[in-house]
Chain A
C-alpha cells in the first residue's frame, strides 16, 4: 500500500467508474429490496444458484453471509445456517472459488456480511483485494468497529474500491450517526431495533419513532433497514423512512425448508415486491 500518490489517485479515479454499482443503484431507484443469505447453504454449491435466482426474481442487491462459528450479532436462524454451511465445507477460499465468475452474469450490487476473525486469518489485505477482483461492492463486518476500521483498514478498502458499510442502531447517539454518515461511501445499515438478527412480526411505534428521527436528520448517505424485516408489510413500512430494506432470517428459514430453490425463491420475492 505504499504507493506513489499519483498512481494512487489514478487508481481511485478508475475504481470510481468501475466499482460503483451501489452508488448508482441508490441514485436510480427507491424502495430497494435486498436479501441476505448464507453462503454454502443449504448445500455447499447452492451459493450461485441462490444468487442467480435472486437476481432473476428482481431484487435490487444482495448480502452474502460468510459463515462463522460464533456469530454474535445473529439469532438462531442464521446461527444454524452458518453451522450447516461450515459443516458443508464452506470457507473463504471456497466462496471466492464459487463466485469467481459471478460478474459474467450477476449485474446487481453484491455485498458480503461476515465476522472479522476469518478475515484476519485469511489475511485482510488478500481478502479485500480478492473481493475487488470478484466484483464485491461492499463489506459489512459487524465486529470491526468504526474506530479500528478508520485507523487500520480504511486506506486498504479505499484503494480497492470496497465500500465499508456501517451499522446504526436505535441507541447510536446523534453525533455518532453524523460521524458514520460522513464516513460512509455507499449506504448506512439501519438496524431496526435493539436485537440480533431474526424475523419479527410487525413494526412497532417505538421503531417508527426511531426511523423518523433518523430520517429527519437528513443524512447524506442512503439508509437501508435490516434485522427483523420479514414480509411485504414490514418492508413497505420501513421504506417510508429509508431507501430500502434487507430481509435475512425469514429468507434463510425458507431456504432451509425449500424443495426447489429456484421456484421457491421466485415465489418468496413475489410475496414481498
Chain B
C-alpha cells in the first residue's frame, strides 16, 4: 500500500502548496479524515451505500474475444456498471459522508467529463445538500448529456471561462469558491489531485477497485494476483484505485494510460508525465506541463476527463520509483480502441477508459498472462463524438 508522509509527500511529490485562506479548511480535513474513514458509523454506511446504492461490487468480466485477439487472459473491471456510469461515485459517496460528519452543508466540485459532477450531484441529492459544480465552458459543450443530468439532479453548473475552459480552469474556480466560502462549504475533489490530504483520501476511497479485483481474481482464477493492471490516468483516481492493493506485489505490472491528444510532439497533448516536469498545480508538487517560464501549458485531449496538465502526485512518485509505467495514447488510438471494445465485447466505453484499452495493442503478452483493464466509465456521454468520428449518423 502506498501512503504519503504526514505532510502529504510521496517522495518529493505532493504536499499542500495552498494560500493561507485554505489552510484552516485543509488542516481541519487533515486532522479528521482518517478518523472518520476508520469509524464504525462511516464504514457501515459506506458499505451499505456501495452495495445498495452504487451496485457494487462491479463485475470482473472475462473478455473472451479480446483475449483471443491479444493472446492473453483479458479481464475487464466494470466500473462502467457502477451507478452513474463511472468509478467517480466511489469517491463522492465517501467524501459526502466525511462532509456531513464535519457539519458542512454546501458542496462544490469541479468536473471535466462531467462524470465527477454527476457523481457529486447524485450524492448531494441523496443527502439533501446544496451542490455547485464548476465546469469549463468547452466541456459544457462537449459533454452536454452530463450537464443535463447534473441539472436534473438539482446541481447548479457554473461555467469556468478562463484558459482553455476545461478541467484545470474548473478546478481553479472551485478553489476560488472555497476561498470565498470557508465555513459552510466542503470541496469534493474528483481525483487524486489537489493539496494533501485529498490525494490520499481519494486514493483510499477508490482502493475498493483493486480490493474487489483481488477477491474476484481469486474466485475466478484461483490466484489474486494478475500480471498486469491497466488504467487510464487523468488526475489518476481510477488508476490509483486499480493499483492500490497491488503496490507491494512487485510481480504485478502497473500501467497507466496518459492522453497524448494529437501526439506527444504535436503541442496538443495532455500527457503530463511524458511531457511535464515537476511543478506546482492546484496545491500539489507533481509532474506538470509548463513552459520555460513556469507558466502552465494548456492541455489538449479529445477526452475531457483526461484533459488536465498535471497528474496526481502519487503517480509522479510511482513513475519516478519505477513501480508503475505510463504510456501515451493518442485520440485516434483511443477512438479505435473504443470501437473495438464495442464491436467485440458489446461494451461502449467512455473516451477516458478507451485510452486504457488502447494499451492492449502496445504490449507483448504471454499466453498465460492475466491482464486486468479498468473500464472506468461508460460511453453514453461520448456518443456525439463517436457518431461524428465513426460517421454513424444517417445522411
Contact = CB atoms under 8 A, between A and B. Distances in A.
Interface of A: 68-70, 72-73, 75, 79, 83, 86, 91-93, 115-122, 142-148, 166-169, 171-173, 176, 191, 194-196
A115 B279 CA distance: 11
A121 B279 contact: yes
21 contacts: A69-B163, A69-B295, A70-B168, A72-B19, A72-B282, A73-B176, A83-B162, A92-B293, A93-B293, A117-B279, A117-B290, A117-B296, A118-B294, A118-B295, A143-B18, A147-B7, A169-B24, A171-B21, A194-B179, A194-B182, A195-B179
B17 interface: yes
A72 B162 CA distance: 11
Contacts of A92: 293-294
A70 B163 contact: yes
A116 B280 CA distance: 7
Given A70-B163, A70-B168, A118-B293, A143 B7 contact: no
Nearest to A73: B19
Contacts of A147: 7
A92 B162 CA distance: 22
Contacts, number: 102
Contacts of A79: 162
A261 B179 CA distance: 33
B248 to A, nearest CB: 29
Given A69-B295, A118-B294, A120-B294, A169 B21 contact: yes
Contacts of B15: 148
B294 A121 contact: yes
Contact of B20 (A70, A75, A118, A191): A191
Contacts of B17: 116, 143-145, 148
Interface of B: 7, 15-21, 23-25, 162-163, 168, 172, 175-176, 179-183, 278-283, 288, 290, 292-296
Given A69-B295, A117-B279, A171 B183 contact: yes
The 3 A-B residue pairs whose C-beta atoms are closest, nearest first, are: A121-B294, A118-B294, A167-B20
A17 B136 CA distance: 51
Nearest to A195: B180
A173 B179 contact: no
Contacts of B18: 143, 145
Given A69-B163, A116-B17, A195-B179, 14 more contacts: A72-B179, A73-B19, A75-B176, A91-B293, A117-B280, A122-B294, A143-B17, A145-B16, A146-B20, A167-B21, A169-B182, A194-B180, A195-B180, A196-B176
Contact of B292 (A69, A121, A142, A166): A121
A50 B55 CA distance: 62
Contacts of A169: 20-21, 24, 182
A169 B18 CA distance: 13
A68 B172 CA distance: 13
A120 B295 CA distance: 11
A145 B179 CA distance: 15
A121 B293 contact: yes
A213 to B, nearest CB: 15
Contacts of A68: 295
Contact of B175 (A72, A117, A191): A72
B32 to A, nearest CB: 15
B21 A73 contact: yes
- Find the residue from A72, A120, A169 having the highest chain B CB count within 10 A: A72
Given A143-B18, A145-B18, A173-B24, A70 B290 contact: no
Contact of A143 (B162, B168, B280): B280
A172 B163 contact: no
Contacts of A143: 17-19, 280, 283
A122 B279 CA distance: 11
A168 B163 CA distance: 29
Contact of B296 (A70, A167, A191): A70
Nearest to A144: B17
Nearest to B297: A69
Nearest to A91: B293
B103 to A, nearest CB: 15
A146 B26 CA distance: 14
Contact of A120 (B24, B172, B183, B279): B279
B272 to A, nearest CB: 14
Given A72-B176, A172-B20, A194 B181 contact: yes
Nearest to B15: A148
A116 B18 CA distance: 10
Nearest to A89: B293
Contacts of B180: 194-196
Given A118-B294, A121-B292, A191 B21 contact: yes
Contacts of B168: 70
